Amino acid sequence: MDRSHVEAVLDGLDPVLRRKVVAVCGDCSHHEEVPQGWQLLPYQGWRSAKEQERLFREGRTKLRRSKHNLTPARACDVVWWHPVKGWSWDGSLPWHLVGSSAKAHGLTWGGNWKKLVDEPHLELRGWGEGKNDGTGK
Ligand SMILES: [Zn+2]
């Protein structure tokens, strides 16, 4: 992982979401429950409708259209990263911290979803600026 990956992901996000994602990653990376060396980083933000369709066909998402496909993106996936081990979706990592931090920042967390639990997934509430001022209220 190089910093330009993280920057590119953040650049594709709605500015309110960007601020909140950075805050969640900060909260989680510095938490005492996180094993040594691991940090939480933005993995994917905006993606094309074509890529969404591919993920849908592969059964990796239940959604044919998601907030990742909006421009700017209103959803971002955050994943654990370690300088030696790389990216990890491992269930032994403290994903619950992502949930509690997301809640504190007024974001919807995919880990609470019933149909397809999606622990890396964070999104703004509502579909557009008119419906959501980003405060999460
Ligand atoms: Zn997602």
pLDDT digits (tens, 9 = 90+) for 45-101: 999 999 999 999 998 887 888 999 999 999 999 999 999 999 999 999 999 999 999
Domain count, the chain: 1
Give pLDDT tens digits for 11-49. 999 999 999 999 999 999 999 999 999 999 999 999 999
C-alpha 62 to ligand 1 mean position (Å): 11
C-alpha 35 to ligand 1 mean position (Å): 24
> Is 132 within the bounds of a domain?
no
Q: Look up the CATH number of the domain holding residue 7.
A: 3.30.1380.10
C-alpha 43 to ligand 1 mean position (Å): 9
Domain holding 7, by residue range, is: 3-123
> Is 129 within the bounds of a domain?
no
> Is 116 within the bounds of a domain?
yes
Q: ω before 94 within 30° of 0 (cis)?
A: no
C-alpha 110 to ligand 1 mean position (Å): 7
> Is 135 within the bounds of a domain?
no
> Is 18 within the bounds of a domain?
yes
